Amino acid sequence: MKTRSTQTWRFVGIVVLLLAAVTEVALAGPPLICHAFDIGSAKSLPWISHDWNLTGSESYDTSKLASDTYAILAANPAVLVHMETLRRATLYARKNPAAAKELLTRLTARTKVAGPDGPPALYYFDVGYLAETYRQWLGNSQNPAQGIDGYALVKQAIQLRGNDPQMEFAAALLTLSGPKTEHRDHAQKAIAGAKTDPQLAKNLSSHFIGERSETIAELLTKPAAAEKTKP
Are the beta carbons of 82 and 39 closer than 8 angstroms?
no
What is the rounded distance in angstroms from the CA atom of residue 146 to the CA atom of residue 160? 24
Question: Splitting the chain (231 residues) into consecutive groups of 10 residues, what average pLDDT does each group show?
Answer: 47 34 46 92 87 73 96 97 97 94 97 79 97 94 94 97 96 94 96 97 89 86 56 32
Q: What integer pLDDT is reported at residue 15 of this predicted model?
A: 32
What is the rounded distance in angstroms from the CA atom of residue 212 to the CA atom of residue 215? 9
Q: What integer pLDDT is reported at residue 223 of this predicted model?
A: 73
What is the rounded distance in angstroms from the CA atom of residue 42 to the CA atom of residue 97? 27
Q: Kindly list the domain boundaries of the chain, sorted by start residue.
A: 65-145, 163-231
Q: What integer pLDDT is reported at residue 228 of this predicted model?
A: 40
What is the rounded distance in angstroms from the CA atom of residue 163 to the CA atom of residue 33? 25
Alpha helices in the chain (DSSP H): 4-28, 65-75, 79-93, 97-110, 121-137, 150-161, 165-174, 180-193, 198-204, 216-220
